[in-house]
């Protein structure tokens, strides 16, 4: 059997207790095939059904870039693709709306499939790139975003929203389309439950002319430069950067910002920054 690289889970392990580390993955789709190797062309060994729990180690197939969960059963090591799995972090099982900034959502930790904040409100259409479509955020995040956009406007910079809250189901559709388009190892769209957009505190931002929509080139715009300098003072951070690709498992996304709540002081902003790898 070929050697596969174990992923660095350092980011997930930060602050995680042994109990958290033992949380199993659950089959999210109706069924998922079990393979001998972390490879779709390897022999199949039956399947797991929706809701079944499975624990093991994440491995990556370097040829397809697809992630698999390797698990032991009957003295053998078997594999299922993480594309069909979900793992809900215990912090996210709390009743009701989760405290903003304390939710844990990564490539390896998810929200509950039925999590939908109760305080979602529409972002005023004037701040959205397509006024016909309603974009929603949690009330506190929407108010903070508008205050940030108004501050940018005073500095002569116009910023718009192109995507905000997404339900588990709409993320599921996005993910399926991305896999169809880019293959099972795609890294642009998060698996359902594992997207920060389900929090209702996360936005994709664009320039008003729409010349840099979900493009790396957004990182060269006056809009991004303004956000890079000022977003933290409003409690917002770019989630996926050049610096944290290994920890987050996602490529840099200069347009994707998440609200962590209003920092109390300037010191709180600077001391919070190094924790970006563990969010």
Report the nearest approach of Zn ion to the CB of residue 276 (Å).
15
| Nearest in space to 68 (alpha carbons), one of 51, 50, 48, 89 | 48
Which residue number, 155 or 215, has a Cβ lying nearer to Zn ion?
Answer: 215
CB 241 within 8 A of CB 252: yes
Which residue number, 212 or 256, has a Cβ lying nearer to Zn ion?
Answer: 256
Residue ranges of the alpha helices (H) in 1-63?
Answer: 10-13, 18-21
Which residue number, 39 or 204, has a Cβ lying nearer to Zn ion?
Answer: 204
Backbone angles phi and psi of 85, in degrees to 5: -115, 165
Which residue number, 56 or 252, has a Cβ lying nearer to Zn ion?
Answer: 252
Report the nearest approach of Zn ion to the CB of residue 37 (Å).
33
Report the nearest approach of Zn ion to the CB of residue 256 (Å).
4
Element counts in the chain: helices (H) and strands (E): 7, 15
Site residues for Zn ion per CB under 5 A: 204, 256
Closest residue to Zn ion, based on beta-carbon distance: 256
CB 272 within 8 A of CB 262: no
3-state secondary structure of 59: strand
Report the nearest approach of Zn ion to the CB of residue 151 (Å).
22
Report the nearest approach of Zn ion to the CB of residue 279 (Å).
14
CB 26 within 8 A of CB 109: no
Which residue number, 26 or 238, has a Cβ lying nearer to Zn ion?
Answer: 238
DSSP state of 103: -
């Amino acid at each position: 059997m070929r050697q596969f690289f174990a992923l660095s889970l350092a980011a997930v392990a930060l602050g995680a207790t042994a109990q958290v580390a033992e949380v199993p993955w659950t089959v999210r789709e109706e069924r998922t095939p079990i393979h001998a190797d972390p490879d779709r062309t390897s022999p199949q060994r039956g399947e797991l059904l929706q809701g079944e729990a499975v624990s093991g180690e994440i491995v990556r197939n370097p040829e397809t870039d697809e992630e698999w969960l390797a698990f032991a059963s009957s003295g053998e090591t078997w594999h299922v693709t993480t594309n069909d799995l979900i793992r809900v972090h215990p912090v996210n099982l709390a009743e009701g709306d989760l405290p903003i900034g304390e939710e844990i959502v990564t490539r390896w930790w998810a929200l509950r499939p039925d999590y939908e904040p109760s305080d979602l409100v529409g972002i005023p259409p004037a701040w959205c790139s397509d006024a016909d479509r309603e974009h929603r955020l949690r009330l506190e995040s929407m108010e903070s975003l508008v205050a940030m956009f108004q501050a940018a406007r005073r500095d002569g910079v116009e910023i718009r929203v192109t995507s905000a809250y997404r339900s588990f189901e709409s993320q599921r559709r996005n993910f399926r389309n991305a896999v169809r388009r880019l293959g099972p190892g795609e890294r642009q769209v998060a698996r359902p439950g594992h997207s920060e957009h389900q929090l209702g505190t996360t936005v994709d931002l664009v320039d008003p002319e729409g010349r840099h929509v979900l493009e790396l080139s957004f990182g060269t715009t006056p809009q991004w430069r303004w956000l890079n300098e000022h977003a933290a003072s409003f409690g917002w951070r770019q989630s996926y950067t050049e610096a944290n690709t290994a920890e987050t498992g996602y490529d840099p996304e200069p347009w994707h910002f998440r609200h962590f709540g209003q920092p109390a002081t300037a010191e709180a902003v600077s001391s919070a920054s190094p924790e970006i790898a563990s969010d």
